[in-house]
Amino acid sequence: MNTSSLGMIISGSFTEGFHVRLVSHSAQTRIRTGKFVSIQGDKCRFFSLITDLKLTVSHPDILLFPPRPEERLLQKMLLMRDMSAIAMVRPLLILDDAGRISSIDRIPPHFAPVYSATNDDISIIFGSESTPGRRYFSLGSPLDMSAPLCIDLDKVTERSTGIFGKTGTGKTFITRLMLAGIIGKDAAVCLIFDMHNEYGVQARSEHHDQPFVKGLKTLFSHRIAIFSLDPHATQRRGISPDRRILLTYQSIRIEDILSLQEELNLHATACEAASLLAARYQRDWLATLLAQGAHLKELAQQVGAHPESIAALYRKLKIIEQLPFFQQSESETQSDIIDEMMDYIDRGISIIIEFGNFTSTFCYLLISNIITRHIHARYTLKTEQFLGSHQKRDEPKKLIIVIEEAHKFLRPAIARQTTFSIIAREMRKYYVSLLIVDQRPSCIDSEIISQIGTKIVAQLHDEQDVHAVISGSHNSQYLKTILSTLGSKQQALVIGHAITMPMVIETRSYDEIFYRDILSLISVTKNIPIQDLYTSSPSL
Ligand SMILES: Nc1ncnc2c1ncn2[C@@H]1O[C@H](COP(=O)(O)OP(=O)(O)OP(=O)(O)O)[C@@H](O)[C@H]1O
Ligand SMILES: [Mg+2]
């Protein structure tokens, strides 16, 4: 057996996985759950994940009369014959001698040796960033390996993506890495609802030696526009926003309010009153309600609503008057902000929406709902025009909409109403998909979770959250075991459409080395001299 062999297959099945008897104590220390290994079969290799580890003895009496510490010879004898460490391994792919990759349709033979996978294996199976004609992007490397492990960005954009994990596990950092890859490799245009101002200019990091990391605008200044609800806050952080967001009361529809029901603690009767107002005053329903503060009874009579319900609705929505980015009438805003956004998107420029000091969930939900509803409507129209035209010109650009705290948009109770759930269900029929970031996936409508193509899952402790993210996967039990052993930072399980097989990764560090790598990648793929990229990012 080759020196790097970790052990040999002794038994197993497709359903429970295979048992590997580890050859030595050193193999035992080198192996951990989530490790990527290959099993050498006849004329093929089985690429597999270690899913569990256990200790066995050949006879139960050994456990009744264990060797005492000073009985060294006995210990040695037992180790040679009667005690062993077993790794459970799950084969997931076959690579045959001709270099063809296929799914598992046969089992490895008895005593087949098991090896650590090599860096070459990784690039053969998962692709490499330099593969011509493909947009592969490395999100990190397999456990205990230094090889870059790639996902296929074109596949990422074909379906929605979910990044899950409990707080502090690195979700925002993974999202930033993904977005840098998508934008850097031109895989799609992104519309990012940046609730905590973490994606644009710079963000805090918990690393003491690097307390701040660069935002995407700092990295790719020409490919990103910042639209700010709070331009002063954006300026205080060192950059002038490309646009200030101003919206009118008329842009707020009943659907936007209905999905805020829980946040506003709105009773169903208040929602009915809102619908009656909208039926009567159409787009001016909110402006009318807010203007009639002193005459709510009359207003209730006019629309046939209960006065108490109208009064409750008024009290809850009055806070909109204090939000400076809402204007009472359309004439006061110079140009339609949605038109401007579409203009940037059509030019392939991604948009970060900064909330500045307006970090309440109420603002985040309201603004994201309004903007997404409008953009989605434009995209639907654009796609229909494109599909109906003979020349097939002006194909819409793929758009990825990024939201944090996604469960607030996609709760089962409102999952039929929000534009976000429509997008998740349509599966990019209209060129739009979602990238959702969340720490409570169990609170997201299960049908929507099942539509997510690629999932990147960091540590999750809650049983229901674990169940929610892996329940749709084939043979999910082994993924559950792997998930339970993930470290608390910079480790994640990647499953689904955009990766050849489920893998555990050590997330790529988002640091100076990454900034350099991503810019040189763009320089090579787009044939732009690297100095030009550096000059467009003066702070590098
Ligand atoms: N890929 C990475 N590169 C460098 N540092 C990282 C990386 N991933 C995580 N970290 C470190 O872990 C910290 C927490 O990560 P992050 O802010 O992404 O967590 P989170 O899951 O988004 O948390 P929350 O749910 O509270 O928003 C970061 O401040 C950073 O110091
Ligand atoms: Mg975060």
For 338-373, the pLDDT digits (tens) are 999 999 999 999 999 999 999 888 999 999 999 999
Q: Which atom of ligand 1 is nearest to the CA of 174?
A: 1
Tokens 């229909």 found at:
384
357 shares a domain with 385: yes
Q: Whose CA is nearest to atom 26 of ligand 1?
A: 167
User: Pocket of ligand 1, candidates 137, 149, 163, 173: which has the most ligand atoms within 8 Å of its Cβ, to mutate?
Assistant: 173
pLDDT value, residue 374: 92
pLDDT confidence bin for 420, thresholds 50/70/90:
confident
Sheet holding 243-244, edge to edge: 149-152, 136-142, 503-507, 491-496, 452-457, 160-164, 432-438, 399-404, 189-194, 350-354, 224-228, 243-244
- 155-164, 322-331, 492-501, range with the lowest pLDDT: 322-331
- Quick check: is 327 in a domain? no
Residues 407, 421 contacting (CB under 8 angstroms): no
Residue 536 has pLDDT above 80, yes or no: no
Distance CA 387, CA 55 (A): 61
| Domain-terminating residue out of 100, 117, 134 | 117
In this prediction, residue 534 carries a pLDDT of 64
Q: Are residues 190 and 254 in the same domain?
A: no
What local confidence, expressed as pLDDT, does residue 205 receive?
Answer: 74
Is 380 contained in some domain? yes
Q: Which residue has the tokens 């199976």?
A: 125
Q: Is residue 139, in this structure, part of any structural domain at all?
A: no
Atom 3 (ligand 1): residue with closest C-alpha? Answer: 509
Q: How far is the CA of 168 from the centre of ligand 1 (A)?
A: 5
**Is residue 44 one of the residues assigned to a domain?**
yes
Measure CA 532 to chain center. Answer: 31
Indicate if 289 and 431 belong to the same structural domain: no
Which residues have CB less than 5 Å away from ligand 2 (the ion)?
172
Give per-residue pLDDT as tens, 316-347: 899 998 999 988 766 555 568 899 999 999 99
Q: How confident is the model at residue 95 (pLDDT cuts 50, 70, 90)?
A: very high
Q: Are residues 263 and 285 in the same domain?
A: yes
What pLDDT was estimated at residue 36?
93
Q: Looking at the structure, tell me whether residues 520 and 453 fall in a common domain.
A: yes
- Give the distance (Å) from ligand 1 centre to CA of residue 175: 10
Instruction: Answer whether 510 contacts ligand 1 (Cβ < 6 A).
Output: yes
Q: Do 370 and 473 have their domain in common? A: yes
Could you tell me the end-to-end alpha-carbon distance of the chain, in angstroms, rounded to an integer?
A: 50
Verify that 266 and 239 share a domain, yes or no: no
Beta-carbon-side half-sphere exposure of residue 491 (alpha carbons within 13 Å): 18
Minimum mean pLDDT range among 275-284, 372-381, 388-397: 388-397
Check whether residue 346 and residue 492 sit in a common domain. yes
Owning domain of residue 467: 151-246+334-536
Least confident of 213-227, 303-317, 463-477, 502-516: 463-477
Question: Is it the case that residue 387 has pLDDT exceeding 80?
Answer: yes
Q: Are residues 100 and 205 in the same domain?
A: no
- Is the CB of 165 inside a 6 Å radius of any atom of ligand 1? yes
Residue at 405 is within a domain: yes
Look at residues 302, 322, 342 and tell me which one is the last residue of a structural domain. Answer: 322
Residues 185 and 259 in one domain: no
Residue-level pLDDT at 219? 87
Count structural domains, the chain.
3
Q: Is 205 in the pocket of ligand 1 (CB under 6 A)?
A: yes
Among candidate residues 280, 298, 322, the one where a domain is terminated:
322
pLDDT grade, residue 70 (50/70/90)?
very high
Which pLDDT value is given to residue 132?
81
Distance 109 CA to ligand 2 centre (A): 46
Give the pLDDT confidence score for residue 208 in this predicted structure.
73
Q: Which atom of ligand 1 is nearest to the CA of 509?
A: 3
The 10s digit of each residue's pLDDT in 14-58 is 888 999 999 877 777 778 889 999 999 999 999 999 999 998 888
**Does the CB atom of residue 209 touch ligand 1 within 6 A?**
no
Cβ of 168 less than 6 Å from ligand 1: yes
- When pLDDT is cut at 50, 70 and 90, the band that residue 2 belongs to is very low
Contact status, residue 47 vs residue 121, Cβ threshold 8 Å: yes
Res 538: pLDDT: 43
The average pLDDT across 106-131 equals 92
Please indicate, yes or no, if residue 200 is contained in any of the structural domains: yes
* 412 and 523 share one domain: yes
Nearby residues of 223 by Cβ (< 8 Å), 6 or more positions away: 183, 348, 349, 350
Q: Hey, which bits of 179-337 come out as E strands?
A: 189-194, 202-204, 212-214, 224-228, 243-244, 247-248, 326-327
- Domain shared by 392 and 502, yes or no: yes
Whole-number pLDDT of residue 334: 57
- What does the pLDDT average to over 410-425? 82
